[in-house]
Amino acid sequence: MRFITGKRATGTAEPLLKAKPFLKDTFLLAYGDTICRLNLSNMYAFHKNNSSIATVALTSAENPKKYGVAIVEGAKIRSFAEKPKEDLGSYFINAGYFIFEPEIFAYINKTDKSLERDILPRLAQQGLLYAYPFQGLYLNINTRADLEKARTLLQG
């Protein structure tokens, strides 16, 4: 196992670029503030069956504007907006779990700061972003209250 650290918060694109030398095969990226019950074997099979460069696990939320919102058509994400101000008519949100091929790095610019704001929307626009919807436990932990809720759910 290898850890990559930085001196300051830089967004989600730079850490991914720092990991590039170590990512020679299909890889999983997961946000550290998200817990879900997701069948990664099924997601991996879906990713491979579609010959995808990028697959995003999606779940639904009552208030999707707090998250990255995906507009899905078939198996592909047609557009992606991080914390949109307006209602996009979709309840599909980014669950914080991704499967990528190393080719993803060809679609990342050195000026990109955010996976969610820069890279995922670009991939969606180019028809390269696949949706893996799932149902079940999804917890996004951003506050003490979220942490307490997670502890209660996971212990019970």
The residues carrying an active-site annotation are: 83
Backbone torsion region of residue 136, taken as left when φ is above 0, otherwise alpha when ψ lies between -120 and 50, otherwise beta: left
CA dist., res. 14 & res. 16, Å (int): 5
Q: For residue 153, count other CB atoms closer than 10 A to its CB.
A: 11
CA angle centred on 102, ends 121 and 11, rounded to 5°: 50
CA angle centred on 117, ends 42 and 149, rounded to 5°: 60
HSE-CB at 76 with a 13 A cutoff on CA atoms is: 14
Quick one: tokens of 61? 């939320």
